């Protein structure tokens, strides 16, 4: 721990889960995983749990039920390359046909139905330029990752304080 860090700063983001979603073998689809990897050290040192997954699965509801707040991070095809969007997941969407894959809204509904808890949640999306086979992000996606990282750091503080 940094000797100059304020007392309690190590746990300042306790109860926050950041979930990076994506497939690094499909170029910009790996944006969420890349951001999670970049933020794991700094947010983890403040008590947040940072995970990365190929896709969201219903089993993640178990972990989210204990969270105060969650930030989902993923690539988006409906945004300009590198653009960043932050939205709250819509409540009350129901379970639909969720089987082995889930959306943020479905996971939050599962938390509410199974555990009677629903953490505060936001979805941070970054516009993808290239979803073709291959490794590495496009230049636009890298710029978007930098912007999204700043947004997520600020959002994390606010969400945990408000939760």
pLDDT per residue rounded down to tens, the chain (163 residues) = 344 445 457 788 999 999 999 999 999 999 999 999 999 999 999 999 999 999 998 889 998 999 999 999 999 999 999 999 999 998 765 555 444 456 899 889 999 999 999 999 999 999 999 999 999 999 999 999 999 999 999 999 999 888 7
7 lies in some domain? no
Look at residue 128 in the predicted model and tell me its pLDDT: 96
Q: Residue 2: what pLDDT?
A: 40
Length reported for the chain:
163
Q: How far is CA 103 from the centre of its chain?
A: 12
Domain, as residue range, for 145: 13-162
Q: Is 67 a member of any domain? A: yes
The answer to whether position 5 is within a domain reads: no
The pLDDT value recorded for residue 96 is: 53
85: domain CATH number?
Answer: 3.40.50.1450
Q: What pLDDT score was predicted for residue 162?
A: 82
2 is a domain residue: no
> Which pLDDT value is given to residue 141?
96
Number of domains in the chain: 1
Determine the pLDDT at residue 92.
62
Q: Is residue 76 part of a domain?
A: yes
Does any domain span residue 144? yes
């Amino acid at each position: 721990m940094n000797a100059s860090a304020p007392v309690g700063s190590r746990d300042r983001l306790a109860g926050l889960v950041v979930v990076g979603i994506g497939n690094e073998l499909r170029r910009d689809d790996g944006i969420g995983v890349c951001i999670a990897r970049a933020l794991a050290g700094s947010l983890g040192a403040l008590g947040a749990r940072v995970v990365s997954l190929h896709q969201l699965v219903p089993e993640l509801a178990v972990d989210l039920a204990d969270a105060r707040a969650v930030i989902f991070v993923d690539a988006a095809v409906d945004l300009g390359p590198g653009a960043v969007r932050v939205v709250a997941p819509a409540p009350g969407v129901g379970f639909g046909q969720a089987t082995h894959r889930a959306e943020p809204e479905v996971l939050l509904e599962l938390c509410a139905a199974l555990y009677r808890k629903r953490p505060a949640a936001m979805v941070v999306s970054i516009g993808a330029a290239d979803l073709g086979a291959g490794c590495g992000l496009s230049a636009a996606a890298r710029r978007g990752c930098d912007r999204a990282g700043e947004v997520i750091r600020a959002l994390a503080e606010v969400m945990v304080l408000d939760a």
